[in-house]
Amino acid sequence: MANSTGTGSSGTPRSEENRLALLDELRQAERRAVSSRVASVIAHLIGTPLHVIAGRASLIRGAPADASVAENARRIEEQVERLAARIRALIDYLTLPEPAPQREAVAAVAGSALELYGPIGKERHVGFELVGAYPDDAGVDGTAALIVLTSLLSLATRVAPTGAVCRLAVSLSEDRRVVFALTVPGLEPPSGRIDSLEPPERPEGTPSEALQVLSVSSAIARRSGGRLEVHADVPGAATIRYLAPRLD
């Protein structure tokens, strides 16, 4: 995504048209990532049970009590194979090739994320504060980082109370990862795992929309070699830490 992050190669603010085009490009990339994530979940949830059902049917058919049992087992195997073939086709359709990493400066990525969602936050009466301490030459996979950051900022504008300020701190970890830490007032730390799309353990806990955003963002982070963490280290808020590999 050349020249698609930050405020442009000249350092000047983007035009409204350029911002909208960038936002549309990010949402398309996010859609592709979500499709691949859904395909992975389908394969995990359905693949093993289908294999077990087919195996059991084969055992029954091999030693039937009567002819009708053998015929029923054969029909089970036939339907399982038909379902498995359709699921494999769906997974192939949803699974898209990984885009090649495109290095962007950390400052440009953070700047673009806030440039896109600052006005949305203002409309929803939620502010953003950016602080950072990292080398000027630090870089990350711009596409992946910008998708994750804009998704998290979008979530923040929806869950933070009116008048709240969300703080985005950028730093470099000891293992040379770039850390984007977004503190969101009003965000309830999830009770379910964010590395899956499974329903939360406590229905009254984190709203499903927030958990879905965190889960998809976690998957995108992992695909590019990073990870996402959620910490309840601030009273009345949660801090989402996105650790992205540094690209030199």
DSSP H stretches of helix in the chain: 16-62, 67-94, 106-123, 142-159, 208-223
Report the alpha-carbon distance of residue 56 to residue 161 in Å, rounded.
54
Pick the CATH number of 103-245 from 3.30.565.10, 3.40.50.720, 1.10.10.60, 3.40.50.1360: 3.30.565.10
Residue-level pLDDT, tens digit, the chain, 248 residues: 333 334 443 455 667 667 666 666 666 666 666 666 666 767 777 777 777 787 777 777 776 666 777 777 777 878 778 887 887 777 777 666 666 778 999 999 999 999 989 999 999 999 999 998 888 889 999 989 999 999 999 999 999 999 999 999 999 998 889 999 999 999 988 876 777 656 655 555 556 778 888 988 998 898 889 999 999 888 889 999 999 999 98
The pLDDT, as a whole number, for residue 244 is 95
Residue ranges per domain, the chain? 103-245
What is the value of pTM for the model shown?
Answer: 0.70
- The full 3-state SS of 140-156, as one line of letters, equals EEHHHHHHHHHHHHHHH
Report the alpha-carbon distance of residue 16 to residue 123 in Å, rounded.
16
